[in-house]
């Protein structure tokens, strides 16, 4: 099978730039939060592009979007690809979007080359890979894989108290959530193209990463309740300052990760909400959200245990009431050998050097791996920077990734 593929890099970059225009913050900062106006407009734009490419579009009741290129054998499990388009506050324009529009370009390149898939090829846009609105990442892929039940979805509320139920129905997604979970064997294989979001490929001068595993993420929510009061009149011995307790906990999070014995452990307190957040008022309540990851699940779990113990110690000593919620504690995912093989062969056909590597960021592939043989393909990003407005991937690197993705999808669709 000697496929002559022509990736239309100019069109792809134009579409990425257009997609970036759907944002709640001025460029180059992208903010696109689940079911807000920019998210809904971006979805409408994508559906148009998918239809123009002759793909059959379907959306599930949670807003996961599927665009299917029917194969000769539509009854066989399909080959999936895709990623997400939601963006955390003040993000860049490549995280997720490269896997969506790159997936579309891969399909168009195959169509243009006269390729006809045997298994159908299905492009996915997952709902809310980012945890911004409902506090948990990979909402769509968790639900598709059955890792998050309809009951658990119905219990979710955003920080303004809106339930996921209300929010999705307002956005036009009204069907029963019971229909979201995919039937067994829906996909024969799944492969996600994504920017690396780290510095390894650029530093080593390697144009592609073939991902063999995804690190295990966990996240915790800690609510601390002390006692508020006037900053001038409550004397220091009488204080129960929730923010001072939070400060100790945050430093503990850092220390536990640093002390794990491995460079692969990371922990971040990326969210801190203070009440009432006024200079002349003693903080009475603080909400923290803590993210812990490691390629080794047992080491990650030990750090989580240390953090829980640390919270208890700090709060007992400072006389602060607290509650801890474990939002998620997911195992790592291992890539499937047959998808890895297809990726490696595709790199060979395209004469592109690659590196086998681990993903330290999580992706929808983490959950797709539970229901289909899965792997990922990384392209370099400048300085390893991501989740920032200055995130950048070059058109050449994106095009190379798309070409190898297309060759991989072709192989998997014939298998
Ligand atoms: C998701 O984007 C993550 O890896 O944090
Ligand atoms: Mn992200
Ligand atoms: Mn992403
Ligand atoms: Mn991610």
Assess whether 209 and 226 both reside in one domain.
no
Assess whether 114 and 141 both reside in one domain.
yes
Specify the pTM.
0.94
d(CA 149, CA 155): 10
d(CA 361, ligand 3 centre) in Å: 8
d(CA 381, CA 151): 38
The answer to whether position 3 is within a domain reads no
Q: How many residues does the chain have?
A: 415
Assess whether 251 and 383 both reside in one domain.
no
Assess whether 183 and 315 both reside in one domain.
no
The answer to whether position 221 is within a domain reads yes
Residues with Cβ within 8 Å of residue 259, at least 6 apart in sequence:
none
Q: How distant is the alpha carbon of residue 323 from its chain centre?
A: 27
d(CA 108, CA 410): 12
3-state DSSP call for residue 141?
A: helix
Given the CA of residue 361, which atom of ligand 1 is nearest to it?
4
Does ligand 1 lie within 6 Å of residue 137's CB atom?
A: yes
pLDDT at 1: 55
pLDDT at 2: 73
The answer to whether position 33 is within a domain reads yes
Question: How many separate domains does the chain show?
Answer: 2
d(CA 46, CA 55): 11
Does ligand 1 lie within 6 Å of residue 105's CB atom?
A: no
The answer to whether position 4 is within a domain reads no
Ligand 1 pocket: which of 32, 133, 136, 363 to mutate (most atoms <8 Å of CB)? 363
Assess whether 203 and 245 both reside in one domain.
no
The answer to whether position 1 is within a domain reads no
Residue 18 assigned to a binding site: no
Domain final position from 329, 349, 371:
329
The answer to whether position 313 is within a domain reads yes
Domain final position from 329, 353, 369:
329
Assess whether 314 and 235 both reside in one domain.
yes
In our burial notation (b when 16+ CB lie closer than 10 A, e otherwise), range 190-229 reads: bbbbbbbbbebbbeeebbbbbbbbbbbbbbbebebbbbbb
Matching residue, tokens 């490696």: 344
Assess whether 320 and 249 both reside in one domain.
yes
CATH number of 392's domain? 3.40.630.10
> Contact at 8 Å (CB) between 141 and 368?
yes
Does ligand 1 lie within 6 Å of residue 173's CB atom?
A: no
d(CA 359, CA 370): 16
Assess whether 183 and 241 both reside in one domain.
no
> Contact at 8 Å (CB) between 33 and 159?
no
Assess whether 225 and 350 both reside in one domain.
no
Local confidence pLDDT in tens for the 415 residues of the chain? 578 899 999 999 999 999 999 999 999 999 999 999 999 999 999 999 999 999 999 999 999 999 999 999 999 999 999 999 999 999 999 999 999 999 999 999 999 999 999 999 999 999 999 999 999 999 999 999 999 999 999 999 999 999 999 999 999 999 999 999 999 899 999 999 999 999 999 999 999 999 999 999 999 999 999 999 999 999 999 999 999 999 999 999 999 999 999 999 999 999 999 999 999 999 999 999 999 999 999 999 999 999 999 999 999 999 999 999 999 999 999 999 999 999 999 999 999 999 999 999 999 999 999 999 999 999 999 999 999 999 999 999 999 999 999 999 999 999 9
> Contact at 8 Å (CB) between 409 and 390?
no
The answer to whether position 112 is within a domain reads yes
Matching residue, tokens 């998050």: 148
* Helix (H) / strand (E) containing 4: none
CATH number of 232's domain? 3.30.70.360
> Contact at 8 Å (CB) between 188 and 119?
yes
Which 8-state DSSP code applies to residue 331? P
Pairing verdict, β 333-334 and 266-275: unpaired
Matching residue, tokens 């019971």: 178
The answer to whether position 161 is within a domain reads yes
Assess whether 206 and 236 both reside in one domain.
no
Ligand 1 pocket: which of 84, 99, 131, 271 to mutate (most atoms <8 Å of CB)? 131
Given the CA of residue 137, which atom of ligand 1 is nearest to it?
1
Is the ipTM value over 0.85, yes or no? yes
Per the structure, the complete domain to which residue 256 belongs is given by: 217-329
d(CA 96, ligand 4 centre) in Å: 8
d(CA 223, CA 241): 13
Assess whether 287 and 409 both reside in one domain.
no
Assess whether 207 and 133 both reside in one domain.
yes
Domain final position from 306, 329, 352:
329
Q: How distant is the alpha carbon of residue 167 from its chain centre?
A: 20
Q: Where are the alpha helices (DSSP H) in 146-272?
A: 150-154, 164-170, 200-204, 242-258
Specify burial of residue 52 (Cβ count, 10 A radius: 0-12, 13-18, 19+): exposed
pLDDT at 184: 87
d(CA 267, ligand 4 centre) in Å: 15
d(CA 246, CA 202): 37
């Amino acid at each position: 099978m000697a496929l002559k593929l022509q990736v239309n890099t100019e069109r792809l970059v134009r579409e990425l730039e257009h997609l970036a225009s759907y944002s709640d913050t001025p460029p180059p900062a992208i903010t696109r939060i689940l079911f807000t106006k920019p998210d809904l407009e971006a979805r409408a734009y994508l559906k148009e592009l998918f239809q123009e490419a002759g793909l059959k579009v379907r959306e599930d009741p949670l807003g996961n979007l599927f665009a299917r290129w029917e194969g000769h054998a539509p009854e066989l499990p399909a080959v999936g690809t895709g990623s997400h388009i939601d963006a955390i506050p003040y993000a860049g324009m490549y995280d997720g979007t490269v896997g969506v529009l790159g997936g579309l370009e891969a399909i168009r390149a195959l169509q243009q080359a006269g390729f006809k898939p045997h298994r159908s090829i299905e492009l996915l846009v997952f709902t809310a890979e980012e945890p911004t609105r409902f506090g948990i990442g990979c909402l769509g892929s968790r639900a598709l894989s059955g890792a998050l039940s309809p009951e658990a979805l119905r219990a979710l509320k955003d920080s303004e108290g809106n339930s996921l139920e209300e929010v999705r129905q307002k956005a036009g997604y009204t069907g029963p959530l019971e229909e979201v979970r995919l039937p067994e064997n829906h996909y024969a294989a799944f492969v996600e193209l994504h920017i690396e979001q780290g510095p390894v490929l650029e530093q080593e001068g390697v144009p592609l990463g073939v991902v063999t595993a995804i690190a295990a993420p966990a996240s915790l929510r800690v609510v601390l309740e002390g006692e508020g009061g006037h900053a001038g009149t409550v004397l220091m011995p009488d204080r129960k300052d929730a923010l001072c307790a939070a400060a100790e906990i945050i430093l503990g999070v850092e220390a536990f990760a640093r002390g794990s014995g491995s460079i692969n452990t990371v922990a971040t307190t990326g969210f801190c909400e203070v009440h009432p957040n006024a200079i002349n008022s003693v903080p009475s309540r603080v909400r923290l959200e803590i993210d812990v990851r490691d390629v080794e699940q047992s080491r990650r779990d030990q750090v989580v245990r240390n953090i829980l113990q640390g919270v208890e110690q700090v709060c007992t000593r400072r006389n602060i009431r607290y509650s801890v919620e474990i939002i998620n504690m997911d195992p790592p995912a291992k890539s499937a050998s047959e998808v890895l093989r297809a990726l490696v062969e595709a790199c060979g056909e395209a004469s592109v050097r690659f590196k086998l590597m681990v993903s330290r960021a999580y992706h929808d592939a983490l959950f797709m791996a539970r229901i289909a043989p899965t792997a990922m393909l990384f392209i370099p990003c400048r300085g390893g920077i991501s989740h920032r407005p200055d995130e950048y991937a070059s058109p050449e690197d994106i095009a190379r990734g798309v070409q190898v993705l297309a060759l991989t999808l072709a192989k998997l669709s014939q298998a």
